[in-house]
Amino acid sequence: MLELRHLRTLTALHETGSVSRAAKRVHLTQSALSHQIKALQVHYGLPIIQRRGQSIELTEAGKRLVSLSGKVLEEIQTAERDLARISQQTSGSLRIALECHTCFDWLMPIMDAFRQHWPEVELDLVSGFHSDPIKLLEEGGADVVIGSERERRRGIVHHPLFRFEILAVLAPEHALRGKRILQAADFTDVTLITYPVPEERIDLIRKVLKPAGIHPQRRTAELTIAILQLVASQRGIAALPSWGIKSYVDHDYVVARRIGASGLWSDLYASTLKETASRPYLRDFLITARNACFATLEGIVPLA
């Protein structure tokens, strides 16, 4: 018999186009999903997915179920928001401090949706840079910090968002374009174009260049698009999340290269005080954020 678990699987399947990726998304094994799919197909006497070589494709029946799933899961979320409202603790503030510049891109639409769902909650972005953002939480200057730290600290909870890859971005005519993978040494004589944040905040420098003793020149820009313009016009190399540059790469405005053999990856967490973590609107924010990210950002991977 059909259960919500199946619907959740279906959407994951639809969004990832692969059983194993979908499995990661719903925190199960590939085998579990395979069995689920099998059961559904037997139950309805219809194929739900179809192997397309390496990946899979949803059949007509599968797509119909995905559309069902979309509606149903959304209705459930709305209902659960109402339940949260019934149980009170529904008003409060959600001031978000962003450690990661590019996160603006995906955060905006989520914030818009959130404002609609939780009109009673005061939603804000905390601007400016903060050397110790976690301290902000403790001092009450913010309610959530979105960043990549996961330092264990009592009273603080780090909610995993996702893992993403940071790629080097070069002009299509750049001398290094021939290399499939860039190593630390390749950055010796280049100018690095970054957001205007301290060095410790830039993963490429902290995790790759500094350990290798390399200190390239830096030039900063506020906006992602500005950074890409500088890159395209040969002023230097940038290191940006794969999902932030996809459309530019697809249009050959710039090219992207992996950094190091297994790539440079970064994990994103939403950190809150323990007490904030239990607030229903915060939980809803996290669920929505994760869903939206997995639905829109390509190439990201779920975290434990």
181 forms bridges with which residues in the sheet? Answer: 258
Report how far residue 48's alpha carbon sits from residue 28's, in angstroms, rounded to the nearest whole number.
19
- Binding residue (CB under 8 A) for its own copies from 79, 108, 181, 225: 79
Which long-range contacts (C-beta less than 8 Å, at least 24 apart) are formed by 24-30?
24/301, 24/302, 25/294, 25/302, 27/302
- Pairing label, strands 92-98, 144-147: parallel
CB closer to DNA out of 49 and 145 = 49
Give the H or E element holding residue 157.
strand 156-170
Q: Please list, in sequence order, all residues whose beta carbon lies within 8 angstroms of the beta carbon of residue 135, skipping any fewer than 6 positions away.
A: none
Cβ of residue 161: shortest distance to its own copies, in angstroms?
20
Stretch that binds its own copies, among 22-30, 73-81, 95-103, 201-209 (CB under 8 A): 73-81
Report if residue 55 touches DNA, rule: CB under 7 A: yes
- Binding residue (CB under 8 A) for its own copies from 42, 53, 54, 87: 87
Report how far residue 92's alpha carbon sits from residue 166's, in angstroms, rounded to the nearest whole number.
35
Task: Give the footprint of DNA on residues 14-33 (CB under 7 A).
Answer: 18-21, 23, 27-32
Cβ of residue 29: shortest distance to DNA, in angstroms?
3
Cβ of residue 36: shortest distance to DNA, in angstroms?
5
Cβ of residue 15: shortest distance to DNA, in angstroms?
13
CB closer to DNA out of 125 and 301 = 301
Cβ of residue 84: shortest distance to its own copies, in angstroms?
8
Stretch that binds its own copies, among 1-9, 28-36, 124-132, 210-218 (CB under 8 A): 1-9
Report if residue 287 touches its own copies, rule: CB under 8 A: no
Cβ of residue 179: shortest distance to its own copies, in angstroms?
47
Stretch that binds its own copies, among 79-87, 172-180, 205-213, 286-294 (CB under 8 A): 79-87
Kindly write out the interface string for residues 33-52 of this chain, putting x where it contacts its own copies by CB under 8 A and - elsewhere.
-----------xxx------
Report how far residue 157's alpha carbon sits from residue 55's, in angstroms, rounded to the nearest whole number.
36
CB closer to its own copies out of 177 and 274 = 274
Query: For residues 59 and 49, is the Cβ–Cβ distance under 8 A?
Result: yes
Report if residue 61 touches its own copies, rule: CB under 8 A: yes
Residue 26 CB coordination number (10 Å): 17
234 binds, among its own copies, DNA, none (CB under 5 to 8 A by kind): none
Handedness of CA 17, 18, 19, 20 (dihedral sign): negative
**Burial readout 223-236 (b: 16 or more C-beta within 10 A, e: otherwise):** ebeebbebbbeeeb
CB closer to its own copies out of 92 and 260 = 92
Task: Give the Cα-Cα-Cα angle 227, 233, 238 (nearest 5 degrees).
Answer: 35
User: Torsion over CA of 303, 280, 271 and 146, rounded to 10 degrees?
Assistant: 80
Report if residue 34 touches DNA, rule: CB under 7 A: yes
Rg (CA), the chain: 21
| Binding residues for its own copies (CB under 8 A) | 1-5, 44-46, 60-61, 64-65, 67-68, 71-72, 75-76, 79-80, 82-83, 86-87
| Binding residues for DNA (CB under 7 A) | 3, 5, 18-21, 23, 27-32, 34-39, 49, 51, 53-56
